[in-house]
Structure 1
Amino acid sequence: MKTSSKFQFGPVLAGIVAGAVLVTASAFHGSAGIQTAAAEQIPTVTIVGKRMTAEEKLAYDMQQPDYVHTVVLTAKRLTAEEKQAMADEDQRMQQLLAKRAARSAQKAG
């Protein structure tokens, strides 16, 4: 037996997506200034380059024989406790920056 009513998922899905976008936008709207202030204080390193072939590496090393090129990167996987501690510290820093911004705004006007 077939039912005569058809449920359309398209409008429902569009409504859900629109709601999610609005909720996400409103959640980050108030903290955008704080994130910008924090981003200005944190230096960013961008590394861009192509992988050299063995011949290119040898030629580059031969051009500068007295200079040793060494880059050492070390890292370790954080535990859940360490991740939470970093998140807590980040939250405290954002709150501190927000208080400073509020004080500056009060002094300015």
Structure 2
Amino acid sequence: MTITGPQCKAARALVEWPRDHVARLSGLTEDTLRAFERGKIDPGAEALARLRGALESGGAVFIDENGAGVGVHLKFNSRDARSVNRLENEGGPVGDDDV
């Protein structure tokens, strides 16, 4: 799935990353990212894949066209993500549950 300029801008707001940071992560210039978010250019499939990947690494989840339009939401807030990362390395016994 490709992403739209408005989705990109919304995702950037949700993950609370400035445009220059997202541009750097995705290998785009800040001007290219700004123009894409405003609907003035299409940076191409490869650039959009890098852009989407960068925003998803920050917790953005892109929603495909589902009859109500495309969208984006946040997977975790930054505090939740830190908690999950901390808990993933906790270890402990693995057990079965018959429930």
TM beyond 0.5:
no
Name the structure with the higher strand share.
2
Shorter chain as denominator, the TM-score bin is under 0.3
Q: Which has the larger radius of gyration?
A: 1
Higher relative contact order, structure no. (Cα contacts within 8 Å, ≥ 6 residues apart): 1
